[in-house]
Amino acid sequence: MTAYHIAQVNIGRIKAPLEDPVMKGFVARLDEINALADTSPGFVWRLQSPAGNATYLRPYDDDRILINMSAWETIDALKQYVYYSAHAELLRQRHDWFEKFAGAYATRRQADFSRFVRQS
DSSP assignment letter at 102:
S
CA atoms within 13 A on the CB side of 92: 7
pLDDT in 10s for each residue of the chain, 120 residues: 557 888 898 888 999 999 999 999 999 999 999 999 999 999 999 998 887 878 878 888 889 999 889 999 999 999 999 999 999 999 999 999 999 877 666 554 444 445 555 544
CA atoms within 13 A on the CB side of 117: 11
Within a domain: 108: no
CATH number, domain of 26, equals 3.30.70.100
Domain that holds residue 86: 6-99
pLDDT at 106: 57
Number of separate domains in the chain: 1
pLDDT at 110: 40
Within a domain: 119: no
